[in-house]
Amino acid sequence: MIQVQRLNKWFGDHHVLRDIDLEVAQGEVVVVIGPSGSGKSTLCRCLNRLESAGSGEILIDGVPAPVEGRELARLRADVGMVFQSFNLFQHKSVLENVMLAPVKVRGVSRAEAESTARELLARVGIAEQAAKLPAQLSGGQQQRAAIARALAMRPKVMLFDEPTSALDPEMVGEVLDVMVQLAADGMTMVVVTHEMGFARRAADRVVFMDDGQIVESAEPDAFFEAPTTDRARDFLAKVL
């Protein structure tokens, strides 16, 4: 579903992604971990072209990720993204937030968009919040609304960039539960997170990044029990 080949990215002189090779199969859940500044967010943003690549190839579902025009809009729909900050439209209801892109970008009728939106809000457990404004929801509910909004575009892939980092601790679990369910339903997912419990529970593979490189890529049990590099061992010693 995702093929990244020799991806490099510079910010000025700063080489932030170095020869990244990454393949994610359909239905696979890849958790990306690593220290702050290692390039995790930049990698995610390159995957849906929020950030331009310096060099290298990115294919989504076998097709080179387009860089502009209508094709780019379709890429953004196919590759859903959920950020640390929920990025909901504050002056629109939760329901409208979820309906908006399918109506505007996919040309879906309002009636169909509403019925899909209500289904998705039920799926993430906030059906009863549909008429409220985002500010009237808890952080965990807002993040679940953001997940529903991304799912409304029927993406092929979901990217999550530290989706629980801005939440109060008691709300982390409800968002992770939605993500675990999504993984169980077969969604292809790339998840940047510091939640090692989620990685153990839901990941098919853990990718460890440091200094712009993928340093290790392994199944969670192997990675957590026996990391093969000093850099991964040092990182795990700090976070576990």
d(CA 207, CA 217): 4
Q: Is 39 in the site for ligand ADP (CB under 6 A)?
A: yes
Shortest Cβ 51–ligand ADP spacing (Å):
8
- The CA-atom distances, in angstroms, between 123 and each of 28, 31, 89, 101, 203 are 21, 23, 21, 18, 21
Q: Is 88 in the site for ligand ADP (CB under 6 A)?
A: no
Q: What angle do CA 194, 35, 165 make, to 5 degrees?
A: 35
Q: Residue 116 corresponds to which amino acid? A: T
Shortest Cβ 214–ligand ADP spacing (Å):
12
Among 1, 2, 4, 16, binds ligand ADP (CB under 6 A): 16
Quick one: which segment of 32-40, 116-124, 147-155, 174-182 binds ligand ADP (CB under 6 A)? 32-40
Q: Which CB, 18 or 106, lies closer to ligand ADP?
A: 18
Strand partners, 64: 59
17 sits in the region (left: phi over 0; alpha: psi -120 to 50; else beta) called beta
Binding mask 36-65 for Mg ion (x = CB under 5 A): ----xx------------------------
Q: Which has the closest alpha carbon to 49: 16, 9, 21?
A: 9
- Residues at the contact surface with Mg ion, assessed by CB under 5 A: 40-41
Q: Which residues bind ligand ADP (CB under 6 A)?
A: 11, 14, 16, 34, 36-42
